Structure 1
Amino acid sequence: MATTTPTTRRAFRRTDDYTPGTPKVKLVEEKLSALGLTSVLIKVHAISLNYRDANIAHGGNPWPVLPNGILCNDAAGEVVAAGEKVKRFAIGDRVAPIIDTQFISGRELGRSWLAADEDGVMADYVIFDEEVLVKLPSYLDCISAATIPCAGVTAWSALKGMSIGQTVLIQGTGGVSVFALKLARAAGLRVILTSSSDEKLQRMKEKYSNPPLLTVNYAKRPDWHEEVLQLTDGVGVDIVVENGGTPSLVQSMKCTRRGGIVSQVGYLGKQDPKDLAELVPVIIDRRVVLRGINGGSRYDTEDFCAALSATRIQLDDLIDSVFPFEKAEEAIEYLWQGRQVGKLVLRL
């Protein structure tokens, strides 16, 4: 295998300055580390941003992060060099790292998240061990494929156990939510989508009009779970893709059918333990299965890529905006303001 490699890379590192109005990332040129025997050098072609990235950049991550680390855990790129003992990949393969580099089979006890415990992928070149990489579906371009490792696999994991004809409640119009909506509809599920913006809900209804999309504005109706129950004839939904955290979790359970599933994928709301006062009686009464979703393992990612390749589902309609790599700061601010409906991607 080829061993010629560039010696430096461009990367955006966090400034760790959380003062409003100050830059959150800084473009640097730094030396690339040596290529190990089982590691792979990837030329990055696209980087997908998640709310998590903006939150980390603004100091809001609830877990420790590497000081001045590199943001982002979603990327698509091309193998340009590989170590002598690499077996799973060849030069030219399109690949992406998994988001938790210790989560291979699903049985691992530890974790190590990109852009938190270790550097992320907001760079023009990255190096990873072959064990934490997956091949991307060949029918997708890099812009679409870059959304797969975090948002896509999170949505895939959140919907596990679904079956045709069931109803899923999806909160918000961010990357994971829109991905979950698309997957749910492709799988024959009825979708109820919530947002605080009538404009965003209308855009989604127009975009996904057949069959008609059911929507609820939770800002206009504080007891929004009652509206969800009305839409399901009092039964409740089968699965919830729960994005809010403490402000919405109990209400999500209240509109989940008895024995249904709530997949907790995010914490977008202002977290307050007082909101969980009814948690225990509600979870017992409704026999709800509450499961934490922390992305997925490498095996989950490979399964998802196989499903995409088999169905050839197009993902370009998930993309809200594409920014040039050099405009990373603007993209982070756009995301932080919640202006997106779907995914933001940096193109290199």
Structure 2
Amino acid sequence: MTTATIITRRAFRRTDDYTPGTPKLKYVEEALPPLGLTSVLIKIHAISLNYRDANIANGGNPWPVLPNGILCNDAAGEVVATGEKVKNLAVGDKVAPIIDTKYITGRELGRSWLAADEDGVMADHVIFDEEVVVKLPDYLDFVSAATIPCAGVTAWSALKGMSIGQTVLIQGTGGVSVFALKLARAAGLQVILTSSSDHKLEKMKEKYPNPPLLTVNYSKIPDWHEEVLRLTDGVGVDIVVENGGTPSLVQSMKCTRRGGIISQVGYLGKQNPQDLAELVPIIIDRRIILRGINAGSKYDTEDFCAALSATKVRLDDLIDSTFPFQKAEEAVEYIWQGKQVGKLVLCL
């Protein structure tokens, strides 16, 4: 056992004021909860933001959230103190909490998401039971490692079951999308990337030139699924990493091969059930497997970290920009406006 000498922390809590133009975060200095017998105190070094964070801060989350909670569920830090009954972690370990603290093996029925049901990780110190903490790959710096728990594990889960030579359609250039692109290329998959911005698509093609990246601007091609079919000689893609939700799901189905998979990872578009009028006949006709991806379990996170450690895949090229911790408000707004191509990380 090591005794924590740190009894307070700096954190950003939500204001829960959803009026446009008003601050979404409030800086606080508060007492840390006590260190439990099986808990660890983690000094946070980097916090990775996701669209989910900006959406929660602006009142758009479709699930209930803890009032004035601490934002963010993606972070990397080091253990600086342990409870006397901690068995598997030690001071100095590079770690992160999993994002759903009720989802360990994948068989659990409940859920408890950081930054929603419970406080998140936008703080300089956090305390978690060792059961919900994973070791991160040693070869990564804290900034890169901070992208793993949410965006990385979501991309890993979304691509599960794919094999070399298959084709994946990835929507957008946000955190999960660029992570999925990175993993897909490493796994030998052909990638078709969509965006509404030619600038973002060109930027991605410059970053990943070999083999050439196939792209589709869906704002210029309303029937973009037809373009995807053309790029795949009419067959369709083997898998879609779908993050639009109702506005794009039916079109995603139309350009998925028969028997293919759609991994629904998000809901970035304006959700309208009327957009799903063709869903049932298309999903039956094309025999599509539609699966919801809610990141992954602790076991999934550990499997992903093991794969990263074995392959030493670089993740620094996924980083769009870094902000100092004190500029958390600006970082959330940056994400909310969709300026990023990749991941945005707060550094402490």
TM-score, with length taken from structure 2: 1.00
Letter of the 1:9 counterpart: R
Which residue of 1 is the match for residue 210 of structure 2? 210
Which residue of 2 is the match for residue 115 of structure 1? 115
Cα distance in 2 between the residues matched to 1:33 and 1:97: 16
Correspondence 1:79 to 2:79: yes
Aligned length: 348
Cα distance in 2 between the residues matched to 1:4 and 1:332: 31
SS of equivalent residue, structure 1 residue 309: helix
Which residue of 1 is the match for residue 259 of structure 2? 259
Which residue of 2 is the match for residue 326 of structure 1? 326
Matches within 5 A, 1:1-348: 1-348=1-348
User: Please, which runs of 5 or more residues in structure 2 have no aligned partner?
Assistant: none
What do the CA deviations read for 1:13-55 (whole angstroms, capped 9, x no partner)? 0000011111000110000011000000000000000000000
Cα distance in 2 between the residues matched to 1:9 and 1:343: 25
Cα distance in 2 between the residues matched to 1:7 and 1:306: 33
Shift of 1:200: 0.3
Cα distance in 2 between the residues matched to 1:147 and 1:340: 14
Letter of the 2:170 counterpart: I
Query: More deviation in 2-11 or 269-278?
Result: 2-11
Letter of the 1:66 counterpart: L
Shift of 1:300: 0.2
Residues 38 and 86 in structure 2, CA contact (< 8 A), matched pair in contact too: yes
What do the CA deviations read for 1:116-161 (whole angstroms, capped 9, x no partner)? 0000000000000000000000000000000000000000000001
Cα distance in 2 between the residues matched to 1:310 and 1:29: 40
Cα distance in 1 between the residues matched to 2:58 and 2:308: 34
Letter of the 2:279 counterpart: L
Cα distance in 2 between the residues matched to 1:4 and 1:88: 18
Shift of 1:3: 1.0
Letter of the 1:43 counterpart: K
Cα distance in 2 between the residues matched to 1:215 and 1:308: 27
Shift of 1:5: 2.8
Poorly superposed stretches of 4+, deviation over 2 Å:
none
Residues 18 and 57 in structure 2, CA contact (< 8 A), matched pair in contact too: yes
Shift of 1:58: 0.3
SS of equivalent residue, structure 1 residue 215: strand
Letter of the 2:21 counterpart: G
**RMSD, aligned CA:** 0.4
Letter of the 2:59 counterpart: G
Cα distance in 2 between the residues matched to 1:102 and 1:347: 27
Cα distance in 1 between the residues matched to 2:280 and 2:271: 18
SS of equivalent residue, structure 1 residue 235: coil
SS of equivalent residue, structure 1 residue 247: helix
SS of equivalent residue, structure 1 residue 161: coil
Shift of 1:325: 0.2
Letter of the 2:228 counterpart: V
Shift of 1:4: 2.7
Residues 4 and 41 in structure 2, CA contact (< 8 A), matched pair in contact too: no
The sequence identity of aligned pairs, in percent, is 86
Letter of the 1:242 counterpart: E
User: Please, which runs of 5 or more residues in structure 1 have no aligned partner?
Assistant: none
Letter of the 2:263 counterpart: S
Cα distance in 2 between the residues matched to 1:336 and 1:185: 28
SS of equivalent residue, structure 2 residue 115: coil
